[in-house]
Structure 1
Amino acid sequence: MRIAVRRTDGSLRATVPIWVVVAAGRVYVRTWYRRDSGWFGRALGSRRARIEAGGVVADVVVDDVGGGELQVRAGVDAAYRAKYARYGAGTVDRMVADDAAATTLRLAPEQRV
């Protein structure tokens, strides 16, 4: 999947590829570690983005759930392990480590009025 974070004026930044999973019917993304820069920091700041995957383009709201419920983390961890196992344990282990889990963002369709 690719994500483009919205600027404060509503325009889009350049898209970047990210790993995405679905757990309990919801869409989640993570980065290797929590930071204020790059797509992750900008997504935290704007709380709005556009995603592109498989020919589908959607505007989404971004919700920081990295410090949330253990049940959510367990589901997201399991989804990363299952989907990305082909990259090897070392890579997947980084995406389910505590630092990466703290970066968990839930993406949901933007509700237009």
Structure 2
Amino acid sequence: MSTWTTDELRRLDQLTEIRVAGRRADQTVRTLTIVWHVVVNDRLYVRSVRGTEGSWYKGVTRHHEGAIAFDGQTRDVTYISDATADDQIDKAYFAKYGNGSPTRAITNAAAKQTTLRIEPR
């Protein structure tokens, strides 16, 4: 498994959206979906605002592999369930996206169940 470069993490932190997709059993990539993301402790995290019922979340957790697209590039990635930094992730979402209802939705209990760390492959 490779790691994100400092430049990639900086750019990811600046972007307001990325696109994520899971990989099917036949190794094709599902349709990329726009999500909010945060960088915490040099790691990239996403959550499903619809909790475990979110279609993109179901797709990426089926095989825990897929792709993300950002800044004109697409990268193969691994999705890892990781709730170890949830408090910091909440703070990062509020700092990045403000205190509105979308941020409250991405930091509620249902969304926290879907915290995924994204690692490049």
Q: Give the TM-score normalised by the residue count of structure 2.
A: 0.79
Where does residue 79 of structure 1 map in the other structure? 92
Q: 2: CA distance between counterparts of 1:108 and 1:74?
A: 20
Check the 8 A contact 1:4/1:49 in 2, yes or no: yes
Structure 2 segments unaligned to the other structure (5+ residues): 1-17
Query: Is the alpha carbon distance of 1:45 and 1:53 closer, same or farther for their aligned partners in structure 2, counting shifts above 3 Å?
Result: same
Where does residue 9 of structure 1 map in the other structure? 26
C-alpha RMSD of the superposition: 1.4
Where does residue 104 of structure 1 map in the other structure? 115
Divergent runs of 4+, >4 A? none
Q: Secondary structure at the match of 1:58?
A: strand
Q: Which amino acid counterpart does residue 103 of structure 2 have in structure 1?
A: V
Indicate yes or no: 2:39 matched with 1:22. Answer: yes
Q: 2: CA distance between counterparts of 1:94 and 1:75?
A: 16
Q: 2: CA distance between counterparts of 1:107 and 1:95?
A: 17
Shift of 1:37: 5.6
Identity %: 29
Indicate yes or no: 2:34 matched with 1:40. Answer: no
Shift of 1:36: 5.1
Q: Give the TM-score normalised by the residue count of structure 1.
A: 0.84
Check the 8 A contact 2:68/2:76 in 1, yes or no: yes
Shift of 1:46: 1.1
Query: Is the alpha carbon distance of 1:44 and 1:84 closer, same or farther for their aligned partners in structure 2, counting shifts above 3 Å?
Result: same
Structure 1 segments unaligned to the other structure (5+ residues): none
Where does residue 91 of structure 1 map in the other structure? 102
Shift of 1:96: 1.0
